[in-house]
């Protein structure tokens, strides 16, 4: 069936508000989707990553990262390939990368900035500028209680 019981009054409905930007900072996140394809202008090829924040007040917020891996600009390609290498290192993948699925669901720390359009033509946006391994925060081992009667101190010279 393709007909609504009641017409949807588009002009009088409120649309979804754009999400607010994340403050600049470092967030714990994981890659939920990864694919590859041409750039908008067709002059390069990119890896497209969708990150989801996994902790803190911004948990479940989504960030997107496009990484150039082939481009007519050698400098742009070099910088993009460095970023992809950083992602691989952060997820502990150190082989030849072909299947992007190996990057999925590995927790990392991503550093996010707010990128402002120099010309004011486009709205501000979040940008991931670095990806690092998530540092493990294992709890410290419990220390045995100190017996005050026992003096095992060894002098150091």
Q: Which residue from 90, 108, 13 is spatially nearest to 4, judged by alpha carbons?
A: 13
Cα–Cα dist 131/27, whole Å = 10
Residue 135 confidence (pLDDT): 78
pLDDT tens-digit series, residues 87-115: 999 999 999 999 999 999 999 999 999 99
Residue 33 confidence (pLDDT): 98
Using 50, 70 and 90 to split pLDDT, how confident is the model at 150?
Answer: low
For each of the domains in the chain, give its residue range(s) and CATH number, in order of start. Answer: 20-133 (2.40.50)
pLDDT tens-digit series, residues 56-80: 999 999 999 999 999 999 999 999 9
Q: Is 51 exposed, middle or buried (0-12, 13-18, 19+ CB in 10 A)?
A: buried
Strand partners, 67: 47
Please determine, for residue 142, whether its predicted confidence score (pLDDT) is greater than 70: no
Q: Which residue from 25, 28, 26 is spatially nearest to 134, judged by alpha carbons?
A: 28
Cα–Cα dist 29/56, whole Å = 10
Residue 136 confidence (pLDDT): 66
* Average pLDDT of the residues in 136-148: 57
pTM: 0.76
Residue 78 confidence (pLDDT): 96
Per the CB < 8 A criterion, the answer to whether 22 and 61 are in contact is yes
What proportions of the chain, in percent to the nearest 5, are helix, strand and coil? 15, 35, 50
Q: Is 126 exposed, middle or buried (0-12, 13-18, 19+ CB in 10 A)?
A: buried
Per the CB < 8 A criterion, the answer to whether 30 and 107 are in contact is yes
Cα–Cα dist 28/23, whole Å = 14
Question: Higher-confidence residue: 136 or 15?
Answer: 15
Residue 156 confidence (pLDDT): 53
pLDDT tens-digit series, residues 4-54: 999 999 999 999 887 799 999 999 999 999 999 999 988 899 999 999 999
């Amino acid at each position: 069936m393709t007909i609504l019981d009641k017409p949807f009054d588009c002009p009088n409905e409120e649309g979804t508000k754009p999400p607010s930007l994340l403050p600049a900072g470092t967030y714990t996140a994981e890659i939920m989707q990864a694919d590859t394809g041409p750039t908008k202008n067709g002059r390069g090829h990119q890896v497209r990553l969708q990150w989801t924040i996994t902790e803190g007040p911004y948990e479940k917020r989504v960030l997107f990262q496009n990484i150039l891996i082939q481009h007519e600009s050698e400098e742009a390609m070099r910088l993009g390939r460095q970023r992809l290498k950083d992602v691989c290192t952060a997820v502990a993948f150190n082989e030849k990368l072909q299947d992007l699925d190996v990057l999925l669901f590995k927790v990392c720390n991503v550093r996010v900035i707010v990128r402002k359009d120099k010309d004011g033509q486009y709205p501000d946006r979040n940008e991931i500028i670095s990806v690092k391994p998530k540092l493990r925060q294992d709890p410290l081992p419990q220390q045995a209680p100190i017996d005050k009667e026992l003096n095992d101190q060894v002098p150091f010279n």
